[in-house]
Amino acid sequence: MPLHSKHLLGLDGMSREDLQLILDTAVSFHEVLERPIKKVPPLQGKTVANMFFENSTRTRLSFELAERRLSADVLGFAATGSSVSKGETLKDTARNIEAMKVDMVVLRHGAAGAAHYLSRVINANVINAGDGSHEHPTQGLLDMFTIREKYGRLNDLHVCIVGDIAHSRVARSNIFGLKTMGARVSVCGPATMIPREIERLGVEVYHHLDDVLPHVDVLNVLRIQLERDAGRLFPSIREYRQTYGVTRKRMEKAGRVVTVMHPGPINRDVEISADVADSEHSVILQQVLNGVAVRMSVLYLLSTRG
């Protein structure tokens, strides 16, 4: 059964069947990653270009590893800043790379909709590796995979996303995917970081972490962008830490075992403290491994679709 779309642009609108297929397929690739020989041949002879227009270490390495594990030829391209500031448009850059007979393009870009746009102007499969504040679908998928690995299901679990929801592509992909799979999703953060009308996505909104903690199964803690609008979206790091910092003390007060996730990179002692990030309830490093498995799954399923 192939995926319904030629591209992975986002989890918004993706069917339950497709989500299920990606997650199920990732299970077998996860198993491959546990073997002594971690390489399988499905993408032999295929070329994947990783086009990263934004700084990224984790996602880029994870994709690259997933591609190599599937025996693909990998082309790396990193340019910081916008394509426009470099004088070449995204379209020209992508078409030039595609002209070298590339089968798939993984795109990380600072502008929302960049992957949608690219999918219209090139023939290769496009995988969105993060577009502005829009989506980061493979992150959403790996988060869902990790939760399912831990609980055996997604439906009826309560997942709360904490942090700057307004500017988070991780939050959006999580919300779209988890809602489709039947999870209960809430968001928690200062009012300045919760976009208006987010309720229409079917999520509950909290502003006080202690109100929601006693009711959640999973806490997905977002990275606070220290560089973003400090002093405008929130007064100070100190105040954010005191209000939204996830600490052991706070978790214990909630009186409930809560699984903690974080998409990384972590600002220790800002949004999360070491006694939580490194605790037995943290699945942060599992997320990293699962990321490779999920990306292998996506690459494989899109390649079989052509």
Q: At what angle do helices 58-69 and 16-33 cross, to 10 degrees?
A: 80
Query: Is 133 an interacting residue with respect to another protein (CB under 8 A)?
Result: yes
Nearest of 177, 227, 170, 192 to residue 20 by alpha carbon: 177
The minimum distance between CB 41 and another protein, in angstroms, equals 35
The region of 20-28, 88-96, 219-227, 290-298 touching another protein under the rule CB under 8 A is 88-96
The minimum distance between CB 19 and another protein, in angstroms, equals 17
158 is catalytic: no
Strand order in the sheet with 47-52: 73-78, 47-52, 104-109, 125-131
Please answer whether residues 304 and 6 qualify as being in contact, where contact means their C-beta atoms are separated by less than 8 angstroms.
no
Query: Is 42 an interacting residue with respect to another protein (CB under 8 A)?
Result: no
Site string for another protein, 184-213 (x = CB under 8 A): -----------xxxx-xx------------
The region of 87-95, 140-148, 155-163, 253-261 touching another protein under the rule CB under 8 A is 87-95
How far is the C-alpha of 45 from the C-alpha of 209, rounded, in Å? 50
Please answer whether residues 115 and 9 qualify as being in contact, where contact means their C-beta atoms are separated by less than 8 angstroms.
yes
Measured from the CB atom, the residue of 112 and 266 that comes closer to another protein is: 112
User: Which of 18, 135, 143, 164 lies at the binding interface for another protein (CB under 8 A)?
Assistant: 135
How far is the C-alpha of 171 from the C-alpha of 19, rounded, in Å? 17
58 is catalytic: yes
Please answer whether residues 39 and 68 qualify as being in contact, where contact means their C-beta atoms are separated by less than 8 angstroms.
yes
The minimum distance between CB 83 and another protein, in angstroms, equals 8
The residue assigned the tokens 């990790």 is: 146
Distances (CA, A) of 134 to 14, 127, 176: 15, 14, 11
250 is catalytic: no
The region of 54-62, 66-74, 103-111, 291-299 touching another protein under the rule CB under 8 A is 103-111
Measured from the CB atom, the residue of 19 and 187 that comes closer to another protein is: 187
Alpha-carbon dihedral 185, 189, 193, 194, rounded to 10 degrees: 40
Query: Is 84 an interacting residue with respect to another protein (CB under 8 A)?
Result: yes
Query: Is 35 an interacting residue with respect to another protein (CB under 8 A)?
Result: no
Query: Is 111 an interacting residue with respect to another protein (CB under 8 A)?
Result: yes
136 is catalytic: yes
Total Cβ atoms within 10 A of residue 84: 10
The region of 34-42, 82-90, 252-260, 266-274 touching another protein under the rule CB under 8 A is 82-90
Q: Which two tokens stand for residue 43?
A: 């993408």
The region of 105-113, 139-147, 178-186, 215-223 touching another protein under the rule CB under 8 A is 105-113
Helical H segments across the chain, by residue range: 16-33, 58-69, 90-99, 114-121, 137-151, 169-180, 209-212, 237-244, 248-254, 274-277, 284-305
Nearest of 207, 246, 243, 204 to residue 223 by alpha carbon: 246
192 is catalytic: no
The minimum distance between CB 134 and another protein, in angstroms, equals 3
Measured from the CB atom, the residue of 115 and 283 that comes closer to another protein is: 115
Instruction: Give the active site residue among 60, 134, 136, 295.
Output: 136
Which residues are near another protein by CB under 8 A?
A: 12, 82-84, 89-91, 109-114, 116-117, 121, 131-135, 169, 172, 195-198, 200-201
Active site residues: 58-59, 86, 108, 136
